[in-house]
Structure 1
Amino acid sequence: MSPLTTTIITSSLATGTIITMSSHHWMMAWIGLEMNTLAIIPTISKQHHPRATEAATKYFLTQAAASALILFSSSISAWNTGTWDITQMTNPTANALLTSALAMKLGLVPMHFWLPEVLQGSTMKAALIISTWQKLAPMTLIYLSMNNLSTTILLTMGTLSVMLGGWAGLNQTQARKIMAYSSIAHLGWMVTIATTLTNIMITALIMYLLMTTSMFSSLISSKSKTIRDTTTSWTTSPTLTIMMMLTLLSLGGLPPLSGFLPKWLILEELITQNLLPMATMIALSTLLSLFFYLRLTYTTTLTASPNTTQTKHKWRFKPSTPNLLLSTTIPLTTMSLPLTPLITN
């Protein structure tokens, strides 16, 4: 793509999210979501590959259906209450439809089928944008309309997302699909806590964005697309390999690392709210996610590749990717746990 086209698409992507995040009128929120969707489609399909075209089509259809549902639910609400205010949706039917639409936008179970397929058909950079930036607008709408959304539906979807994110990820060998199921599981955690404490949801979202960005940046830098590719990532940069291992363990939520922080706060709050069975279920389901993170960790840093190269670098050009994103997100991904008292206060 030409620099002008890239600039227009990137600015439209940013503007769409900002419009949605700063709006109080459903029509403006919908316009922001539409801008967002239309800007990401060329980004996915720019490879001119059948798989990329398929991914772009799947993304467009699901997002268009979700946007139509949002418009439909807000119209029902406006018809009954006479207001288009996002925070004033009181109609139960409209709220149930809105909950389903936002779940489809985010890729929560049972509306998750598009997410792994779309990520697999995209480039690594497009997959990074879909997994991080594209989650901001729907999460903002959940935050704004949380008092009116259906709690039962959200808790059920959250629990199922954490469970399926663990189970389905066990079967994958592609890094992008693993990250897709990881995204589904993390969003499940966020949606679960959204019903009681939205500030913990925001903390979990920020941590998820940091961890996912650093993980994707590591995969882009080492040019790893499958689990098998990670076995030779040490030839690119041994330091990067160690950082990738710590990022994976942080994604899994192991205590000394930052990823433990949101899980700890969420479980604590769920127990306080007497939701013990659900807290137990999602905590056990996280062990499944941890298993495939550990498997990636094992292939990345704890094994020597069977065909060990004698050269210092891989048989290709040295990676010329800018490391600013990587160097800013990795410290936060691994060392934010001491900030917990600051966040809880």
Structure 2
Amino acid sequence: MILHPTRLLFYSTLILGTLIAISSSSWLGAWVGLEINLLSFIPLMSDKTNQFSTEAALKYFLTQALASAILIFGAVCLGLSTQFGSSYHFNSSTLNILISATLLLKMGAAPFHFWFPGVMEGLNWINGLILMTWQKIAPLMLVSYVFNPSLISFGFIFMCALAGGLGGFNQTSLRKIMAYSSINHLGWMLAATLLGASYWITYFLFYSFLSSCVVLLFNLFNLSHINQVFSLPVSNPVFKMALFCNLLSLGGLPPFLGFLPKWIIIQGMVAAGYNFMITIMVLLTLIALYFYMRIGYSAFMLAHHETKWIVAPFSSSLAQSLTITSLTLSLFGLLLCSSVILIL
């Protein structure tokens, strides 16, 4: 239960760990914040009703412990090379790449994403949402300090966009689809770190909002697989409209709100001269958009059987308000934001 006193304690230390990591002035302080964050999230992953939660917690702990060990090693080496200079033969650019790779492993970015879909599969929707959004704040903030325009950085961005697009092709689990979607969006956020903090923070806020809308709708109807989406009651056309508009918005289809952060990044990348890179990213995002459209098109267009005993929670005021709000923002958010920008 989310309001249990123990869980409230761990949620508090989870937030505290992230705040320590992003406000620290040294790599040691950032490492301490990441460790507090890690040790707070693992107890929250336990769920008696989910038999895979223990396996997910173990995978997450081992991966994060490995990343933390490499991070503190890289930070110590970087400190020694800075303090003692040539007496320690450490190349600062190599250490920056090592620290960047470690932080990418912590956030589940490609090519270090091997653990992320498996851990997502073992979590409930609320913990999965935390893993996709809040748990990425500290590593993204730290990686923005050491990420600079280079061939290796562009390689990481390209692999995130490619793995996020191709990975969701043959998935039937909604949790894994959301995991690969998160990996694809990480490629855009890493590209945004090359442009400045305001770019990636803006993109992250939009991504977190849209992911929250989709995940809360999945959680409301207790959906886990694509075939459950197909058998949703047709008596709830507004819910279906809200769900699929949010999915297409998360994919970045132009009429929806999710296109706005991609539009901002595209303009920034073109202004910075990264024309080839942004072209590749847009093309790979179209691949990721395919598996969103596959869910929506099949559920809307194909005939399906509807069971008589499905009791839809749409009659509740919470479900109605959440659905109507998310649908309105997804449909008209881009228009409203564009109007505000024009006025200003």
TM, length-normalised to structure 2: 0.87
For residue 303 of structure 1, report the CA deviation from its aligned partner: 3.8
Q: Which runs of 5+ in 1 are unaligned?
A: 84-89
2:180 is aligned to 181
Query: How far off is 1:295 after superposition?
Result: 0.9
> Structure 1 residues 106 and 341, CA, compared in 2 at 3 Å: closer, same or farther?
farther
1:45 to partner: Cα distance: 2.7
> Partner letter of residue 339 of structure 1?
C
Shift of 1:333: 4.4
| Percent of aligned pairs with the same amino acid | 35
Q: What is aligned with 1:62?
A: 63
Separation in structure 2 between the aligned mates of residue 239 and residue 318 of structure 1, nearest angstrom: 9
Q: How many residues align?
A: 335
Alpha-carbon distance in structure 2 between the residues aligned to 1:321 and 1:110: 43
1:211 maps to what in 2? 210
Would the aligned equivalents of 2:233 and 2:312 in 1 still touch at CA under 8 Å? no
Determine if contact 1:257/1:333 at 8 Å carries over to the other structure. yes
Q: Which residue of 2 aligns with 1:161?
A: 160
- For 1:196, what is the secondary structure of its paired residue? coil
Matched with 1:87 is none
Matches within 5 A, 1:13-92: 13-47=14-48, 50-82=51-83, 91-92=92-93
Contact 1:107 1:114 in 2 (8 A): yes
Q: Contact 1:155–1:195 (CA<8 Å) still a contact in 2?
A: no
Summarize the Cα distance change of 1:244–1:52 in structure 2 as closer, same or farther, 3 Å threshold: same
CA distance in 2, matches of 1:316, 1:303: 20
Unaligned runs of 5+ in 2: 85-90
Distance 1:22 1:5 in 2: 26
> Per-residue displacement from partner, 1:8-60 (whole Å, max 9, x unpaired)?
11111111112112222222211111111111112223337552211111111
Using the alignment, how far apart are the partners of 1:325 and 1:35 within structure 2?
Answer: 33
Which of these residues, 320, 325, 337, is aligned with residue 339 of structure 1? 337
- Aligned 8 A contact 1:217 1:326 in 2: no
Deviates more, 1:269-278 or 1:211-220: 269-278
> Is the alpha carbon distance of 1:156 and 1:297 closer, same or farther for their aligned partners in structure 2, counting shifts above 3 Å?
same
- Please identify, of 72-81 and 330-339, the stretch whose mean Cα deviation from structure 2 is larger: 330-339
Q: Distance in 1 between matches of 2:225 and 2:155?
A: 32
* Residue of structure 1 equivalent to 2:134: 133
Contact 1:107 1:115 in 2 (8 A): yes
1:110 Cα deviation from its structure 2 partner? 0.8
The residue that corresponds to 1:95 in the other structure is: 96
Q: CA separation of 1:67/1:48 partners in 2, compared to 1, >3 Å: closer, same or farther?
A: farther
Question: 1:50 & 1:102 partners in 2: Cα distance?
Answer: 29
Question: 1:86 maps to what in 2?
Answer: none
* Contact kept in structure 1, 2:214 and 2:243, CA below 8 Å: yes
* Alignment correspondent of 2:280: 281
Aligned match of 2:88: none
Distance 2:339 2:110 in 1: 33
How has the CA–CA distance of structure 1 residues 343 and 301 changed in structure 2, closer, same or farther, with 3 Å as cutoff?
Answer: same
The normalised TM-score by structure 1 is: 0.87
| Conservation of the 8 A alpha-carbon contact between 1:207 and 1:333 | no
Deviation at 1:99, TM superposition (A): 0.6
Alignment RMSD = 2.8
Contact 1:234–1:301, Cα closer than 8 Å, also in 2: no
Which letter maps to 1:14? I
Q: CA deviation at 1:340?
A: 4.6
Aligned pairs (5 A) from 1:146-157: 146=146, 149=148, 151-157=150-156
Cα distance between partner residues in 1 of 2:20 and 2:192: 25
